[in-house]
Structure 1
Amino acid sequence: WFKMCFYEGSSRVPLMIAAPQVPMGKVSAPVSNVDILPTLCELAGIDMSEIMPWTDGETLVPMASGAPRSRAVMIEYAAEASYAPMVSLREGQYKFNHCELDPPQLFDLEADPHELTNLAQDEAHGDLVRQFMAKVRAKWDMQAYDAEVRQSQARRWVVYEALRNGAYFPWDFQPLQKASERYMRNHMNLDTLEGSKRFPRGE
């Protein structure tokens, strides 16, 4: 899915932290990239009071010692292949996905790790769906979110067209390579050079 959806295979990536204050171990609870800044601030002894009003993240230091996460992990996607912004809440064993153009999705990741059964249409989970939906409405104004995305697209399209004029330089990553390693050199035996480039290397 090219990371363009909320399935675990796309949205779940490992996070590794090494610091003197962090005990060695593994935490299975989900976290978010927005948690990194508060975590680094706490590890560095920086006052977070000025930071917290403009971030939805929380420090992960307590979780490293076994404390539970205090709130749901929030995920947003409004890029390629989406006709409207998509949001998701990951809390406990459940993941709730919402898009204004699609029916809601609710997955029990413990019982259904491959996310094959959408529980949102099951009346037995109706209260849970309504709770998640209330959290979505409290966090996001989906119409305003959609409008902001489209305004940003319009602005960036003008900039994109302007940058395509003149001496255009693509944004693609360009790896740095040593010039001495890009050409055939004459300072060694050809068989030795070719043998060193084989995998597995020749004897």
Structure 2
Amino acid sequence: MTQAQPNILILMADQMTAPLLPLHDPNSPVQIPHLMKLAERGVLFESAYCNSPLCAPSRFVFMTGRLPSKIGAYDNAAELRSDVPTFAHYLREMGYRTALSGKMHFCGPDQLHGYEERFTTDIYPADYGWAVNWDGDASRPTWYHDMSSVTQAGPCVRSNQLDFDDEVVFHAKRYLYDRARDDAGDRPFCLTVSMTHPHDPYAIGQQYWDRYRDDDIPLPSLSYSDAPSDPHSQRLRQLYQVDTTEISEQQIRNARHAYFGAISYVDDQIGALLDTLDETGLADNTLIVFCGDHGDMLGERGLWYKMSFFEWSTRVPLIVCAPKQFSPRRVKESVSTMDLLPTLVELAGGGVDYATDLEGRSLVPHLTGRGGHDEVIGEYMGEGTAAPLLMIRRGDYKFIHSPVDPDQLYNLADDPQEIHNRVDDPNEAERLAAFRQEIADNWNLDAVHQDVLDSQRRRRLVASALAKGKVTSWDHQPHTDASGQYMRNTFDLGDVEYRARFPRVAE
């Protein structure tokens, strides 16, 4: 393979909800100048979704192009099997260097899944300790979210997440500089840069907090009392204790204030990475993808965090930017991050056979203005569920189904806040019956439920056993060979300085 293939830079934000952003809401006070410029030069997907609104399942689907039930991506302690191909495997097979800087929430001993290099450890644990327990009672896991992220929201000098993301971006920039200085640069690269902001806890440095005034921060547009309730939402409220925690209006505003600041922090990091592409001369042949893993309810409907199929939880930003290939445009059809694997493979030149079936579909027809699909399938089997939860988004409609809860059907064109459940509307009876039949034809939900239970039981046993005696960590341990860095007596001084300087000067 030659450098005629485009380089690929994938930028991922964690828990960044799309409906809030000025990419989609012109009245939004959120400041993201670098992403706005990227969208102006690229293809912006106005109705992009994740396929499972939780960190690990969403990321595994994004990497494999497959639905959670097909790969066992049930919850945040699920293992992505090493024999499931990811886009990193396919691109590597096509001649790409593949590298990851940041979060991907891999659980289990394989912490690479096709990446040649990984520069940081993960911010979250790699073991099975966070497995959901459908065999247990409805009590809240001690390791799970509570409302302290909201009640303690505000500015900070430093945080765990700032430590992590600063390291992520530092290594990503260094990788780009190294590629520009590489004498054997005939291999294209695919670099994934995955930050953990604006994920809660809602705390951000003072400089980003100060970019917004309290008056800039809108409160939720739909309160818990104004939104129709449903059993899944009630379980979530109990799970993270919002139903038993007294929260003031100011605390809600503080949480959103810090979240806005965290989005601006992410935007600045993206700006720094784009500047690095420009100054190294890599920009002209680098395809850029920006996406999120899931959203955040941020108090809408009285809900927080993710884990539901309402818009603020499951809609994500998605931009593909390659101005020399695709004219800037906005795509209205509904697509998902599951569609990115076949998209990346096609844009990299194709020519490889897929080793498994894919549920994801290439976005290239959308990118080239030739139309494309208008459908998203979602599955969720994580916290707050008692059985598999499914979503079908097609055209104007969204259908949500679980065997243990009442169905929900919304016309988002007429009802963007998802207030009016149409399941009892006689005018929608035929559509409702078709959705129900589609699920009956395409899912064996009893079998999926049993698969989830079996997986949870296995992982709980393994986690318990491995915590006894000598503990061997699966967390990724980045290794740096200091003997090959900077200046050593095994190197020629002039050669080191010549090769490390960019741009090069004449010998």
> TM-score per shorter chain, which class?
0.7 to 0.9
| Alignment check: 8 A CA contact 1:22 1:61 kept | no
> Contact 2:335/2:373 (CA < 8 Å) preserved in 1?
no
Pair 1:14 & 2:313 matched: no
Q: Is the 8 A contact 1:95 1:109 kept in 2?
A: yes
Q: Establish whether residue 4 from structure 1 lines up as the match of residue 295 from structure 2.
A: no
Query: Aligned AA for 1:142?
Result: L
In structure 1, C-alpha distance between the alignment counterparts of 2:386 and 2:402, rounded to whole Å: 9
Aligned to 1:65: 368
Question: Which of residues 388, 397, 410 in structure 2 aligns to 1:107?
Answer: 410
- Match in the other structure for 1:40: 344
Listed as ranges, the matches of 1:142-153 within 5 Å are: 142-153=445-456
Deviation at 1:117, TM superposition (A): 0.4
Please state whether the residue corresponding to 1:38 is helix, strand or coil: helix
Distance between the aligned counterparts of 1:120 and 1:53, measured in 2? Answer: 36
2:335–2:374 Cα contact (<8 Å) kept = no
Alignment of 1:185-200 (within 5 A): none
Q: Does 1:123 align with 2:416?
A: no
Find 2:359's aligned residue among 56, 62, 65. 56
Residues 83/170 of structure 1: CA separation in 2 closer, same or farther (3 Å cut): farther
Shift of the alpha carbon at 1:71? 5.4
SS state at 1:156 partner: helix
Percent identity between the aligned chains?
A: 38
Letter of the 1:11 counterpart: T
1:22 deviation in Å? 2.9
**What TM-score do you get using the length of structure 1 for normalisation?**
0.77
Deviation at 1:53, TM superposition (A): 5.3
Q: Hey, what does 2:22 align to over in structure 1? A: none
Taking structure 2 as the reference length, what is the TM-score of the superposition? 0.32
Deviations 1:109-156 (Å, cap 9, x if unpaired)?
111001000001111100011111122122211111101111110111
**Distance in 1, Cα, partners of 2:425 & 2:355:** 37
Q: Which amino acid aligns with 1:102?
A: D
Partner of 1:83: 386
SS state at 1:119 partner: coil
| Aligned: 1:29 with 2:348 | no
Q: Cα 1:93–1:150, aligned 2, differ >3 Å: closer, same or farther?
A: same
One-letter amino acid matched to 2:406: P
Contact map agreement 2:334 2:373 (CA 8 A) in 1: no
* In structure 1, distance between residues paired with 2:475 and 2:342: 31
Within a 5 Å distance, the mapping from 1:161-180 to structure 2 comes to 161-166=464-469, 168=471
User: What's the Cα RMSD here?
Assistant: 2.4
Pick which of 138-147 and 19-28 moved more: 19-28
Residue 59 of structure 1: how far off its partner (Å): 0.4
Residue 66 (structure 1) shift:
3.2
Higher share in strand: 2
Q: Secondary structure of 1:40's match?
A: helix
In 2, Cα distance between equivalents of 1:172 and 1:119: 46
Other structure's SS at 2:308 match:
coil
Change (3 A) 1:27 1:52: farther
1:170–1:5 CA distance, 2 compared to 1 (3 A) = farther
Contact 2:342 2:361 in 1 (8 A): yes
Structure 1 counterpart of 2:395, from 82, 87, 92: 92
Report how many residues are paired.
173
What secondary structure, in the 3-state scheme, does the structure 1 residue paired with 2:461 have? helix
Taking the aligned partners of 1:171 and 1:92, their CA distance within structure 2 comes to 43
| Structure with higher RCO (Cα < 8 A, 6+ apart) | 2
Distance (Å, rounded) in 2 between the aligned partners of 1:3 and 1:119:
23
Mind listing any 5+ residue stretches in structure 2 that lack a counterpart?
1-303, 478-507
Separation in 2, partners of 1:120, 1:171: 46
User: In the alignment, what sits opposite 2:239?
Assistant: none
